[in-house]
Amino acid sequence: MIHLPVTVADLAGALRFAYTLTRSLALIPSIEAAGVTVSAEDAQHVRHWVFCDRTMPDRRRCARRADHDGPCSPTFPR
């Protein structure tokens, strides 16, 4: 688990930052990106999911954004 405190202007920016950082780290095969969340420092009990996190039929997790439209996919969209 990595807890990375950063300052970002708004929730949309925080989600975008976490998504981009996670995609970069996902190049390492042993990294599991499904559980990435962001939260405000003074409300860490309120977490916003970055990825969908649904389990696919092959037991991998969906790699699309949490609010995606359409079917789930185990790979990052291009």
pLDDT tens profile 25-69: 878 888 777 778 899 888 888 999 988 878 888 877 888 888 899
Please compute Rg for the chain using Cα positions.
Answer: 13
pLDDT tens profile 10-24: 999 999 999 899 888
d(C-alpha 40, C-alpha 44), whole Å: 6
d(C-alpha 64, C-alpha 13), whole Å: 17
